[in-house]
Structure 1
């Protein structure tokens, strides 16, 4: 089953809780992840699903601490919460419930039936509408009242969101992104890692379509080899600088702490922000390179104007529709066979 095409009408309302949890995974896996690596696994029990980090899909060079991997798992958890609420269920979430198992990111317990609120419906329908949109945006800025809502959404999950809307801030972000591009692309380890996740042919269930990195269609078959072999940092820096310079609104999502629990909370906050924005027809994409380059990350904190740790740099705006990134079948992510049980 393609999770992008799942029909909510097929939710097993009268089925076992384990069947319902398996259905909810179709929404969980639509969370974003760097390089579309989808670095998560699930174990379904009688009334709970355990969310695990799949470190086989970790990005060892750009994410050596698995910070972004953990953020992605937090976004998965938030989607589970939204979907459970939409289908009228209470739930409980335990983050990092077992200190002896650092791969266990969260336990999600499906509870009794409950009422579905208006916000639950809005966020749920945004799950299928969310995309990472790398296209240029229109010059129209995100309205201030929506930015306030996005800040409140991040705060409700234990993170903070700092809008960057002035011309000077936008140009400073563009400069940081361009610097980070040049630093990353100059390192063969970065290029090798990226090439592993670039998909030259359509039909892949993970990774990044080669066209997303500016390789001409007639060279698509050789795209990963080109990326692996040549330092295209100058070209990428120029492209991203242009994109950033004409982005109407940037936001920095950050946390007060720098440890796995804070990263999971950042992931929940990220997805809350993304879904809230999309529900108002605002697109988002990531320009997270300055966060990934250690010497540039503190400069993002300075731009945010607050103490703490920047986790994600987002560009927000209005633009054209884009197709969704591919997804694996959630059943391929189950680490043991689920079992039935009454709940």
Structure 2
């Protein structure tokens, strides 16, 4: 894990986040999939037990039909880029989790490392949130890795952390309902 707390390094990460977010916002398939995964109110989130609850990201809740209309009206590249800039600039730091190699066992190890980080952060009252655009947009990942100075490694997770209010959590289905 690389821990970035200097403002200059965090601003550089923000450049990658905005480049990735811009790429994603210009991809209509990505935006359609994101919209399909948003649960615009608590009852929809509870009924479906999956997705991204709007309240968990600080967005207002609304009936599903209205939420979809509001999404179309207000979800824009500039608004999202501005939101990410506020998020990064208000964070205490950014943690980047890096795989030594690009294979399943190393990806799982990154997940385990993040899990330990997130659990300890929670125990300390520190909030975490994903900023994965630099690793979700495949064309950005090599340059992001180069910026981080990890020639043999692969950046896999980008997490901002700091103090802030606790947000509602996205619901998940019970384990028994998703196992085959």
The two structures have a TM-score, normalised by structure 2, of 0.85
Shift of 1:191: 0.8
Shift of 1:247: 1.4
Match of 1:288 in 2: 132
Match of 1:279 in 2: 123
Kindly report the root-mean-square deviation, in angstroms, between the aligned alpha carbons of the 2 structures.
2.3
Match of 2:102 in 1: 258
Question: Which of 146, 171, 174 pairs up with 1:326?
Answer: 171
Aligned partners of 2:42 and 2:61 also within 8 Å: no
Cα 1:297/1:179, change in 2 over 3 Å? same
Point out the structure with max Rg over C-alpha. Answer: 1
Q: Which runs of 5+ in 1 are unaligned?
A: 1-160, 336-343
Q: Is 1:301–2:145 an aligned residue pair?
A: yes
Aligned partners of 2:58 and 2:167 also within 8 Å: no
**Deviation digits for residues 69-127 of structure 1 (CA, Å, limit 9, x no counterpart):** xxxxxxxxxxxxxxxxxxxxxxxxxxxxxxxxxxxxxxxxxxxxxxxxxxxxxxxxxxx
Q: Is 1:235–2:79 an aligned residue pair?
A: yes
Q: Is 1:173–2:13 an aligned residue pair?
A: yes
Alpha-carbon separation, structure 2, partners of 1:285 and 1:175: 17
Aligned pairs, number? 175
Cα 1:225/1:212, change in 2 over 3 Å? farther
Cα 1:240/1:312, change in 2 over 3 Å? same
Cα 1:211/1:233, change in 2 over 3 Å? farther
Cα 1:282/1:176, change in 2 over 3 Å? same
Query: Which structure has more RCO (C-alpha within 8 Å, separation ≥ 6)?
Result: 2
Q: Is 1:247–2:91 an aligned residue pair?
A: yes
Cα 1:281/1:216, change in 2 over 3 Å? closer
Mapping 1:118-267, distance limit 5 Å = 161-203=1-43, 204=45, 205-211=49-55, 216-217=60-61, 221-224=65-68, 227=71, 232-267=76-111
The two structures have a TM-score, normalised by structure 1, of 0.47
